[in-house]
Amino acid sequence: MRAIVAHGARDLRIEERPDERPGPGEVRLRLATGGVCGSDLHYYNHGGFGTVRLKEPMILGHEVSAYVEELGPETSGLSVGQLVAVSPSRPCRSCRYCQQGLHNQCLNMRFYGSAMPFPHIQGAFRESLVADVLQCVPADGLSPGEAAMAEPLAVVLHATRRAGEMLGKRVLVTGCGPIGVLAILAARRAGAAEIVATDLSDFTLALAARAGADRTINSRMEPDALSAYGADKGTFDVLYECSGAAPALAAGIAALRPRGVIVQLGLGGDMSLPMMAITAKELDLRGSFRFHEEFATGVALMQKGLIDVKPLITHTVGLDEAISAFEIASDRSQAMKAQIAFS
C-alpha cells in the first residue's frame, strides 16, 4: 500500500508500506478521505512544532474516513463496505487517567501521526489501515469528506464542554482556521447569543460569517477593533483562542468581562500571559486538548443535519497529488480544509 510519509521539513514522500491483517477486535479499512490538519502542516513546513520534532520518518494524518474491508476475529457492530469515521484516539484504557474517564490524557496514548513519543506513532494517511473496532463510528448518510471532519469537530465539541454553560453567552473566537470556524458552529449549536470572530485573512473570515459569526474583524486591517469591547472591564463571556498567537490571546483577554472563560485550543508554542489582567478580572483559563467521547457525538450531529461542515471543505485532491494538498492548506488566502481522496 502507499502512504504519505514525512522525513523532515519540506520532505514529504509517497512510499510503499506493507499491508497488515486485522487481529481480534480489529478491522482492516480502505481509506476514503484524509484531511490535512494544522499539526500535519507543522510537520510538513517545519519538521514539528515547539519542542516536538520529527526524529524518524512518520506517516502523517489523523482526520480520516474509510470503508470497512475485513473484520478481524471477535469483531462485531460493523459490516464490510460500510463507511466509518475513524477516531485517531487510541487510549490504553488502563492507566490512572483512563480509569478516571480522562481518556484524552491517557499516559499511553497512541494518537495517529504524533511525534510526541519516540518511536513516533505512525499516522493514518495510508491506503490500508488496521484499526480497533472501537475507533470506527458508522457514518451512514455522510460523504467521505464529511466523515473525515469528525476529528476536528470533536476537538471543538470537547472545547465547548470545557467552556461550560453557553446559552445566551457572548463569544469571541480568535483565529478562523478550521478549528475556529467549527467553534463558531459548535458555540451557536450550544446556544451562544452573539459571536464575534477575528483573523488576519478575509477569506477565512468570510467562511466564519457564513458559519454564523455575527461580526468578523480582520485584525490586520482593524488592529484596534476589539478595543471597544474592552469598555467597562469587558464584554465577552467566553473566548475560544484558536490561533495559538500571543497577540490574539492578549486582545481577547482585554475584551473578556470579569469571570469570563478562556478556552485555549491553539497550539503555537508557549505564550506570555497577561497575568495581572487574568487575576484582576478573575478569569478562568482552561486548556482543551483533543477529545474522546465527543467524536461519536460529532458524527451524530452531522448525520442529523445539526452541524454542516461541507462549506469548510474547500479543496480535494487525489493521492498522487497529495503534496499539493499540503501546499494548498498552507495558503490561508484560498483554503480552509484541504482533503486527500484515497479512493
CA atoms within 13 A on the CB side of 251: 27
**Band (8; pLDDT cuts 50, 70, 90):** very high
Please give the backbone phi and psi of residue 21, each rounded to the nearest 5 degrees, phi first.
-110, 145
- The grid coordinates listed for 139 are 457514518
User: 205 in a domain, yes or no?
Assistant: yes
Backbone angles phi, psi at 55, to 5 degrees: -115, -5
For the segment 38-83, what is each residue's pLDDT rounded down to a tens digit?
999 999 999 998 888 999 999 999 999 999 999 999 898 999 999 9
What average pLDDT does range 92-117 have in this prediction? 95
Q: How confident is the model at residue 107 (pLDDT cuts 50, 70, 90)?
A: very high
The pLDDT of 162-188, averaged and rounded, is 97
- Both 225 and 108 in one domain: the answer is no
Structural domain count, the chain: 2
Same domain, 18 and 84: yes
Same-domain pairing of 277 and 219:
yes
Residue with cell 487575576: 279
pLDDT tens digits, 67-78: 999 999 989 899
The answer on 64 and 201 residing in a single domain is no
Query: Which amino acid belongs to residue 230?
Result: G
Taking the CB of residue 61, how many other CB atoms lie within 10 A of it?
29
Confidence of residue 198 (pLDDT cuts 50, 70, 90): very high
Pairing verdict, β 26-35 and 337-341: antiparallel
- The CATH number of whichever domain residue 16 belongs to comes to 3.90.180.10
Range of the domain at 315: 2-149+309-341
Closest alpha carbon to 193 in 167, 215, 165: 167
Listed residue (255, 236, 161) closest to 193, CA to CA: 236
Residues 133 and 193 in one domain: no
| Residue 268 reports pLDDT greater than 90 | no
* Percent with pLDDT over 90 in the chain: 94
Q: What are phi and psi of 311, to 5 degrees?
A: -65, -20
Give domain status of residue 302, yes or no.
no
Pairwise CA distance, residues 34 & 61, whole Å:
7
pLDDT tops 80 at residue 269: no
Tell me if 86 sits within 8 A of 69, measured CB to CB.
no
- Summarize the confidence of residues 102-121 as an average pLDDT: 95
Same domain, 173 and 254: yes
Per DSSP, what are the bridge partners of residue 13?
5
Q: What is this structure's pTM?
A: 0.95
- The mean pLDDT value for 198-219 works out to 97
In a domain, 299, yes or no: no
Rounded CA separation 318/215 (Å): 36
Domain annotation covers residue 64: yes
Same domain, 116 and 165: no
Per-residue model confidence (pLDDT) at position 270? 76
Domain harbouring 203, CATH code: 3.40.50.720
Q: pLDDT tens digit string along 284-329?
A: 999 999 999 999 999 999 999 999 999 999 999 999 999 999 999 9
Residue range 192-203: average pLDDT?
97
Assess whether 12 and 116 both reside in one domain: yes
pLDDT for position 104: 96
Whether 322 is covered by a domain: the verdict is yes
Q: Mind giving me the DSSP string for 186-216?
A: HHHHTT-SEEEEEES-HHHHHHHHHHT-SEE
